[in-house]
Amino acid sequence: MKAMIIMNPSSGKEKANEYVQKIKETLQGRFSDIDIRKTEKEGDAASFATEACIALYDAVISMGGDGTINETINGIAEQDHRPALGIIPLGTINDFARALDIPLEPYEAISILEGQETRAVDVGKIDEAYFANVLAVGSIAEASYNVTAEQKTRLGSLAYFMEGAKSFLNGEAIDLTVEHENGRWEGKSFLLLAALTNSVGGFESLAPEASVSDGKIHVFIIKKMSFPKIAAIIPSLLKGELKESDEVEYISTSLLNVSSSKEHVVNIDGEEGQTLPFHAKVLPGHIRVFVPAKKAM
């Protein structure tokens, strides 16, 4: 059996090599060949993952943040052979790991590989690309591009929250048309979130009913509102009751088309992606991921 470790050296700092050695020790009893690939530029993780599919590897272990995980999934999705995916979270938010109850402490995450328990999870497809966790459109989503690497290191998820708060105060609502399997919504919105999982931006209660394998995109459209109303929905967000707010339109769908009268950039799994319009759908149970035994299915 063959395994590939895809490592983002910029994540995990000086301990990254230690983590690789621990992964090798954990896998050696089951895998005869273990290859290590280090990313140097954008797109490397996707290329390595595709190579593993073509060469019929049995497992791909992705070390890094949500961006590295997204690239790895883009390399695996819709390939004829798809290796099981291992996730060692080394990023700032690690939403996909949170949604799967994979420990955020790297050595604990590595220990999951010993059990070889997997779960089939959904993957989202946006036009010709793929996502594991969330799509976001609006001034708040675009504000996240202003967060520097230094801010991420120093403040963690708080850095995104601070930029988002500035955007709420200064940003403008945008015109959106949202078509889904049950109808259509049109109006002005500060933010559209289309989530595959319950964890978005480190908030694990955004969509508590969402599952990584329910075949649905959970869409939250935060409408144009005043600052007092914005403040009023924060408790709903923290309690997992955001969809109950009068200022939020909630949609559960397996198909989604979003467009606007102006050009806006889509945030895909926390990274700057394409511009509107987009078409998205769910690929149900598309990839098997190593998970804690209690989460295996």
Decide if 7 contacts 37 (C-beta within 8 A).
yes
Give the C-alpha separation, 22 to 38, whole Å. Answer: 16
Nearest to 176 by CA among 263, 75, 292: 263
Q: What is the pLDDT of residue 247?
A: 77
**Residues of the chain with confidence (pLDDT) below 50:** 145, 151-163, 238-240
Instruction: Tell me which CATH code domain 2-123+286-295 carries.
Output: 3.40.50.10330
> In CATH, what class is 134-284?
mainly beta
Residue intervals of the chain classified under CATH 3.40.50.10330 are 2-123+286-295
Just list the catalytic residues: 271
Q: What is the pLDDT of residue 155?
A: 41
Residue pLDDT, tens place only, 43-73: 999 999 999 999 999 999 999 988 899 999 9
Decide if 69 contacts 62 (C-beta within 8 A).
yes
